[in-house]
Structure 1
Amino acid sequence: MKYAKNILETIGDTPMVKMNALVKDVDALILAKYETFNPGNSVKDRMALKMIEDAEADGRLQPGGTIIEGTSGNTGMGLALVAIVKGYKLICVMADKQSKEKMDILRAVGAKVMVCPTNVEPDDPRSYYSVSKRLAEETPNSWYVNQYDNPSNAKAHYESTGPEIWEQTEGKITHFIVGVGTGGTISGVGKYLKEKNPNIKIWGVDTYGSVFKKYHETGVFDENEIYSYITEGIGEDILPKNVDFSIIDGFVKVTDKDAAVYTQRLAKEEGMFLGNSAGAAIKGVLQLKENFTKDDVVVVLFHDHGSRYVGKMFNDDWMRERGFLEADVSTAKDLLETHKNKSLVTVKTEELVSHAIERMRTHNISQMPVTDSEGFVGSVDEGALFSAFIENGKNTDTPIKAIMNGKYPELEDTVSIDAIAKQIKNGNSAVLIKSGNTFQIITKSDIINHMN
């Protein structure tokens, strides 16, 4: 009989799949190394097993010990599978930008999950790097994995992923493209492939808000490049030791929007239900297509499974809120789709400044139309309220009619977005759109969100 002795023996030997619809305009053979076939549904299973085995071999991890790691979710899943089979406890420390699905999955396989803020410096005591290290110092019989600097990470891919890609392409691979986070996959695979054929090009996919691309090109670690981003699984605000920049031929950056949109497109056009970094990776391939010829064999590695993103990239409401959903928006009526469950908030001429301030605070808005018994007669915004507050000695009992600005233009919902933009460009901070028997407001921020 043919069977695996435990789940760990099913790690590796993942398939290679030809890309079709999304790369029809690329003049090369594009193959996907499909890592979701690993038992933990990601490429990280490979290095999780290798890191634990190496730590056992040299005594860093003792029987019955506790494994501690900062993770975006996938490494945690791989570690959890190994911990279950080998009898270890696991604590995963995660940033709060990671999907709820990832956290729930880790808890489902017995891991303890601690959540830390994303938008803090790496050396901040609240960061998931710092919390992981502190827990390892405080927890008896524990081992801090540190996948970023652990050499077993890259070694796993040098020993397994790289050889598989070489054999599956019969040595014909010319380009390898992969998203870069800890750096283990690109460095391990890249080292193996370069040893087989130094002419193979190794490309890293980076995200905006990450330091990799500029550092590779200039040698400068630019802190101004660092800011919060949405894309999961790639990019860093540190330089992990596992990123061997000497092996990488170049980086390409992909926006949050493109990564999210192409994650959906992979599912809908290729039948590939994959994670966020896969969307970034295939968009990276398309951005690099001028580097390929018809005789090239390009391998792109897809890290993880789409089930971990059903509340985010595969949720149209989530996508729409961030301006990521590709939609045909040409008229005011199209734009008002984002307002369909909201009522127009107004203030009356005889109400007080204090009433307007409270209403803006309650509804989280920055301007409102002013009405009287005849209809719309003016408008009020944060600037007018601030001036009234200061000029009247912080007295907010002034009637709105004493400080209000001119009324907003009133347009039908059939007008074009360009017509609305023209009205706002002419000095109006918003316009009122008549839709049936009701009015809705379109502001500068609505137009800006549409431009995203």
Structure 2
Amino acid sequence: MQTPAPFIISPTQKILKAQFSTHFQPSTGFEAGPIFHRRGPYDPRRLNPGGSFVRVRFAVRPQLRLSPCPPGAMAAATAAGAAAAAAAVSLLACYLLLHRTGAGPTRTSRSSGRRARRKGLLEAIGNTPLIRINSLSDATGCEILGKAEFLNPGGSVKDRVAVKIIEEALESGDLLCGGTVTEGSAGSTAISLATVAPAYGCKCHVVIPDDAAIEKSQIIEALGATVERVRPVSITNKDHFVNIARRRALEANKSAVAQRESSEKGTNGSAHVHARMSHSKITATQGESNKTLTNGSAHTDYEIQHNRKCDHDSDSKGGFFADQFENLANYRAHYEWTGPEIWQQTKGTLHAFVAAAGTGGTIAGVSRYLKEKNTNIKCFLMDPPGSGLFNKVTRGVMYTKEEAEGKRLKNPFDTITEGIGINRVTKNFMMAELDGAYRGTDREAVEMSRFLLKNDGLFVGSSSAMNCVGAVRVARDLGPGHTVVTILCDSGMRHLSKFFNDQYLANHALTPTATGLEFLDQ
């Protein structure tokens, strides 16, 4: 009787799963992608030094194959397997080396050259991950992706705006190193300015409406900024928090000039004249508050880069009104920074972008950039209750239903969401390129925030929840198979006293009760 030939049993479910038969036939492949989502158990991922996710796939299917082994085949197969494994490891090392040195996929201009070890707070801002929101994606059949802006150092998308506003002001000379940045903000921009300003050698003074979540002003004070809480009034009122912030910048400039003139009294005539000429003029109008206190040699962030110290204790550096609503540095932050990141992270494959608007900077900058890259990308506004932007986009007229024909209430309860919705068109919003608008409700935002927390572990704030409501609406209208991107502006940590306060919600009949997404079907 003939003795049967021995058999080779191939190794299975290893990092490199090789198939053996008469010949060794390994198959390896590499795939890089910045979108982090689960594809299966044999899809190990590593975070590359640049910050994007690299997906490494060894494309051999796990299986057990038995085949006759001719004489000498065992040794040959073993040698071939070792050689193939070494080649695969070498190829992986080369790929990661190229990706580390920048020879791999390019980064946005804003984040180019950044390393795994980032130099200081400012380099940690931006380049946030674009994450797949699994529950919403599975429910709609679309890829719904959220830009995780709550991972910025200051905790929100407004970090980008704070950086851009301060950098442009320093470069133009409107803000001097050691000066004070003033702003009227409901919270997030104020927190970002208070976070970023010290990195540029500046101080911060914030005027905030007293109906904003108390934890926001507490955070701002903890960051070392001056906080001034005022009652909420119409923007046409001189005591609106934005108008007060503008006045504070003017007052700081007048005080600075007075101090400089006083200190110059002991100098000789020519030096006195030269110093007076190098100081800026103080304008009397609020609308020109930023055209003040410029110096003959502009103070920019290069001063900080060259280790020149700023006089933090001096009040002679004046103030600068950030003016986030009308300052187009806000729009430029997203056109030059956020938009390119989204385009790169999706590799240009997105079909739609949707976001709410407050100042309008985010939706304007991102929509304009994406439209320039691909006119087929649809961009939509998501508007909360009490805001007139929905009517502006859909009908061309800025008013809310409550304001029509003089029906506006004296003290209307608009929305519990913060940082979004407005009843005027800002310069930043004018830059937006939109295809349509959706309107959400407070209940939808509350229910969505709890749904995301329960199903995805995402603890997001009110504006982020409203954005996700918009993302589902867009996905349903487009149909399965599309990619929809939105912004996760900030986390729920800043909304504990209102949006995540059970008693507060109960007082406004907003206690969440939904178990799924049925609240969007009502």
TM-score normalised by structure 1 residue count:
0.69
C-alpha distance in 2 between matches for 1:7 and 1:46:
12
Which residue is 1:104 aligned to?
Answer: 218
Contact 1:8–1:81 (Cα < 8 Å) also in 2: no
- Report the counterpart of residue 193 of structure 2 in structure 1: 79
Q: Distance in 2 between matches of 1:14 and 1:271?
A: 18
Establish whether residue 41 from structure 1 lines up as the match of residue 155 from structure 2: yes
| Pair 1:287-2:473 in alignment | yes
Determine which of 363, 366, 377 is the counterpart of 1:186: 363
- Does residue 259 of structure 1 match 2:445? yes
1:24 corresponds to which residue?
Answer: 138
Does residue 211 of the first structure (1) align with residue 388 of the second (2)?
yes
Partner of 2:242: 129
Supply the distance in 1 between the matched residues of 2:214 and 2:431 (Cα, whole angstroms).
33
Q: Which residue of the partner structure matches residue 503 of structure 2?
A: 317
State whether residues 275 and 308 of structure 1, in contact with CA within 8 Å, keep that contact through their aligned partners in structure 2: yes
> Aligned-pair distance for 1:99?
0.7
Q: Can you give the 5+ residue segments of structure 1 that lack an aligned partner in the other structure?
A: 329-451
The 3-state SS of whatever aligns with 2:235 is: coil
- CA-to-partner distance for each residue in 1:36-82, whole Å, 9 max, x for gaps? 11101101101110110001011110121110001121111211122
Equivalent residues in 2 for 1:212-361 (5 A)? 212-222=389-399, 224=403, 227=412, 228-244=414-430, 247-327=433-513
2:182 match: 68
Partner of 2:38: none
In structure 2, do the counterparts of structure 1 residues 22 and 322 end up closer, same or farther at CA, with 3 Å as the change threshold? farther
**Which residue number corresponds to residue 197 of structure 1?**
374
In the TM superposition, residue 218 of structure 1 has moved relative to its aligned partner by: 2.1
Report the Cα offset of residue 2 of structure 1: 4.9
How far the C-alpha of 1:93 sits from its partner, in A, is 1.1
Deviations 1:363-412 (A, max 9, x none): xxxxxxxxxxxxxxxxxxxxxxxxxxxxxxxxxxxxxxxxxxxxxxxxxx
Does the CA contact (< 8 Å) of 1:122 and 1:238 recur in 2? no
Counterpart-to-counterpart distance in 2, 1:153 and 1:77: 15
1:55 corresponds in structure 2 to 169
Higher strand share: 1
Q: Secondary structure at the match of 2:190?
A: helix
Superposition TM-score, scaled by structure 2 size: 0.60
Structure 2 letter corresponding to 1:296: H
Identity %: 37
Counterparts in 2 of 1:327 and 1:171: CA distance versus 1, 3 Å: closer
Is 1:7 matched with 2:184?
Answer: no
Amino acid aligned to 2:512? E
Instruction: State the alpha-carbon separation in 2 of the partners of residues 51 and 245 from structure 1.
Output: 17
Alignment partner of 2:354 out of 156, 163, 177: 177
Deviations 1:25-46 (A, max 9, x none): 3131111111111101101101
Please say if residues 176 and 200 of structure 1, whose CA atoms lie closer than 8 Å, have aligned partners that are also in contact. yes
Q: Across the two proteins, how many residue pairs are aligned to each other?
A: 328
Matches of 1:244 and 1:220, distance apart in 2:
14
Q: Does 1:167 align with 2:344?
A: yes
Q: Distance in 2 between matches of 1:286 and 1:128?
A: 34
In terms of Rg, which structure is larger? 2
The reply on whether 1:138 has 2:260 as its aligned counterpart is no
1:175-231 superposed Cα distances (whole Å, 9 cap, x missing partner): 011111111111111111111101101111111111101112222222616753221
SS at match of 1:52: helix
Residues 106, 113 of structure 1: 8 Å contact kept: yes
Q: In structure 1, give the amino acid aligned to 2:240.
A: S
1:382 aligns to what?
none
**C-alpha distance in 2 between matches for 1:245 and 1:125:** 27
For the Cα contact (< 8 Å) 1:22–1:269, is it kept in 2?
no
CA shift in 2, pair 1:112/1:285, >3 Å: same
**Amino acid across the alignment from 1:311:** S
Uncovered stretches (5+) of structure 2, i.e. residues with no partner? 1-114, 254-317, 515-521
